[in-house]
Amino acid sequence: MSTEWKERLVIREARPEDDAAIGELLVEAFITQYAKKLPEVQYTEERKRQLRDVASKRAVAKVLVAELEGRVVGTVALWPPGAPGAEAWVPGAADLRHLATAVDFHGRGLSTPLLDAAERVAREWSVPAICLHVRRGAEGVARMYQRRGFVREPAGDLDTPSVYLEAYLLRFPG
């Protein structure tokens, strides 16, 4: 696949009619990515249900999609400060989650325009930073965020019964 798709890509806010496509994209992308890199990670039916519940996420967070010729090929969500379910540990910060691309776009740079758009939204909100978590062991994902300027912030780590999440932070100047 060439990169000419980049010229036709549209990044926009998700709509209710996108929910099913976003949910399936999240489940497929997460299962495929982790199956390759962290085969010990298993996705329960409950976790899949949570990923597919895009309507509830849109009610509290800004969900963005990458659309190519009518097909949702990527997504990312940004929780504003204080929103229900936000996991940001820095006061006033946004919480970035659920970055995923369609499997046939893995490794093709589609995360860049999605993250660019999420960072623009965060700046429009005038937040001091974006917080995010990466599953321990997902070094490639962590490196992608670090290349964008996110720094490891152990104070924000989450140790849940099912997963250990390492915290990363992108501070905005000013």
Distance CA 12, CA 117 (A): 9
Distance CA 153, CA 93 (A): 14
Residues 6+ apart with CB under 8 A from 153: 89, 131, 167, 168, 169
pLDDT given at position 1: 44
pLDDT given at position 2: 53
87: exposed, middle or buried (Cβ count in 10 Å: 0-12, 13-18, 19+): middle
Per-residue pLDDT reduced to its tens digit, 9-55: 999 999 999 999 999 999 998 887 765 665 566 677 888 899 999 99
Write the CATH number for 126: 3.40.630.30
Tally of domains in the chain: 1
Distance CA 153, CA 134 (A): 11
Per-residue pLDDT reduced to its tens digit, 53-89: 999 999 999 999 999 999 999 999 999 999 999 999 9
Per-residue pLDDT reduced to its tens digit, 81-112: 999 999 999 999 999 999 999 988 888 889 99
Percent of the chain as helix, strand, coil, to the nearest 5:
40, 30, 30
Query: For residue 60, what are the domain limits?
Result: 4-171
Per-residue pLDDT reduced to its tens digit, 148-158: 999 999 999 99
Look up the pTM and report it: 0.92
